[in-house]
Copies of this chain bind each other. A is one copy, B any other.
Amino acid sequence: MKAVLIIMDGLGDRPLDEFKGKTVLEAAATPNLDKIAASGISGLMDSIAPGVTPGSDTSHLAIFGLDPEEHYHGRGPLEVLGVGIPLKHGDICFRSNVGTVDDDMTIKDRRAGRIESTAEHCRLLDGTKIDGVEIILKPSAWYRAGLVLRGKGLSPNVGKNDPKETGVKVMKVKPLDDTPAAAKTAKVLNKLTELSYKKFRDMPLNKKRVAEGKLPGNILLFRGAGRFVPAPSLEERYGGMKAACVAGGGLYKGIARYVGMDVLDVKGATGRYDSDYGAKVKAVKEALKTHDLIFLHLKATDSAGEDMNPALKKEMVEKMDSAIAGLLGLKDCLLVATSDHTTPCSLGHHSYEPVALAMAGDGIRVDDVVKFGERTCAKGGLHRIRGLDLMNIIASHTGFKKLYGA
């Protein structure tokens, strides 16, 4: 038996006055998700634990069966894996942007006017050595890039140079402990900040941008330091299960690579509101021919929650639901629909409440829940489980996880 795991990011919400006390999911028309609930078993899931607000990274690690207490080493390595940079154990990784600074290093724009590519910037720094440390810098979508420091005696316990606001100066990276490794890493990073300004400032690309009235991309900003420590793959942990990922956002592709999934390249999968869900669902169906588990990640519900836009979030739920129609009725396939965390439109950021979960397929103990929503699923036969339980359930139901004991 195969399985499709659909994660609708940040789908969970709180009761909203504009929906007469319903959540976005409860208010949305979701005939296809309702079919999964009605023909399957439902429940609630805390991706980490009750009362814990999960990050996007920790929640997905837990959902893929890796306890973040053991396997979470910061966001950097997961973002960098998402860019597609092959990593070595011990690499120090960062999320990075190309931004715009004034002559005195005051930040004018953290994204250099949403510059379309960082490919030329990366070419100027990728492969450079600073104090014997190799700098790896590869372009990601738009103004983003993946940054890796590779060398001996480095530490992830360092700050960032990105203050995450404009009108203030680029930060000096500080070591966060007293070790020589943290001091060395901070020193290399501060030299990298200076070098990026020196190399980017006079790029022909930037002269052209300025002439066109655009902001130049003249500084490398980075944050989210983390050490890459490999983790056991899904295949190792679940009896040879081969998994593939269909996602738009870099982080989710990175997490998928971290847990050993094949990341499929799907045209039109942008991770934004305009993402082509039809193309993604088509890719899922294709991937089922070669893989046992397909992870389908849909991001827009989280973005709309962060944008505090209930109408848009509802629209995105309905767009997701329509696309999911294409996955109903697959033979010998367990269909699992859930989310990674709650992102209430009333807050605009992640919160702690559990999310709706439903799964349907041959052999499932069908319960009497007929609507996919936070409070309908709460009455389902799965009760309230944790993220770390989910892959065990999926892998056991599909026959990949074996007996514990004898």
Binding site for B on A (CB under 8 A): 14-15, 21, 23, 44, 48-59, 68, 72, 74-75, 224, 344, 346-347, 349-353, 363-368, 374-375, 378-379, 381, 383-386, 389-397, 401-406
Q: A351-B396, A396-B352 are in contact. Are A404 and B48 (CB under 8 A)?
A: yes
Residues from chain B with Cβ under 8 Å of A352 in the complex: 392-393, 396-397, 401
Decide: A53 and B403 in contact? CB cutoff 8 A. yes
Q: A15-B366, A375-B367, A383-B378 are in contact. Are A403 and B50 (CB under 8 A)?
A: no
In the bound complex, CA of A351 to CA of B400 (Å): 12
In the bound complex, CA of A58 to CA of B402 (Å): 13
Residues from chain B with Cβ under 8 Å of A393 in the complex: 50-51, 352
Decide: B365 and A23 in contact? CB cutoff 8 A. yes
In the bound complex, CA of A404 to CA of B378 (Å): 24
The complex is assembled from copies of this chain, and their number is 2
Residues from chain B with Cβ under 8 Å of A346 in the complex: 363
In the bound complex, CA of A393 to CA of B353 (Å): 8
Q: A57-B405, A363-B346, A404-B58 are in contact. Are A383 and B381 (CB under 8 A)?
A: no
Decide: B49 and A389 in contact? CB cutoff 8 A. yes
Residues from chain B with Cβ under 8 Å of A51 in the complex: 389-396, 401
Decide: A396 and B363 in contact? CB cutoff 8 A. no
Which B-chain residue is minimally distant from A391 (CB atoms)? B51
Which residue of the partner chain, among B58, B375, B406, contacts A56 with CB atoms under 8 Å? B406
In the bound complex, CA of A120 to CA of B403 (Å): 35
- Contacts A72-B405, A75-B406 aside, 16 further interface pairs with beta carbons under 8 A come to A14-B364, A23-B365, A50-B389, A51-B392, A51-B394, A51-B401, A52-B396, A53-B401, A53-B404, A57-B405, A57-B406, A68-B404, A74-B406, A352-B392, A352-B393, A378-B383
